[in-house]
Amino acid sequence: MITQESIINQLRDNGLKVTSQRLAIVEVLLEKRDLHPGARLVYREAKKKKKSLSLSTTYATLNEFSRHGIIKKLQFDTMEDRYDGNLEEHINLICERCKKILDYNVPTAVDPRG
């Protein structure tokens, strides 16, 4: 389970500063985990927590987090990039009608030999 503390540790492990802007973005990613939010949604929600946050800082932070493997960046042809804080092995299913993204956990295979 991804927690704010585990993300903070990942930031530090990757030599990234833990700033109030980054923490606001982390909080939104954790709160909106099931939505797989786009950068604009992350920005709108994080700005409520940190008034000085800019849209460009949000994009830069999300890209930096994905470069360091802290989150996954989901790229699509027909819709904006979305971000996934679930780093567990899973498949992202997309509803063609509403564009909602759902996590599908792949069942683990059981070794018949025990």
β-sheet bridge partners, residue 101: 94
pLDDT digits (tens, 9 = 90+) for 33-83: 888 999 999 999 999 999 999 999 999 999 999 999 899 999 988 888 999
H/E element holding 88? none
- Cβ-in-10-Å burial (0-12, 13-18, 19+) of 61 comes to buried
Q: What is the pLDDT of residue 81?
A: 92
Q: How many alpha carbons fall within 13 Å on the CB side of residue 18?
A: 13
Domains of the chain, CATH where assigned: 4-105 (1.10.10.10)
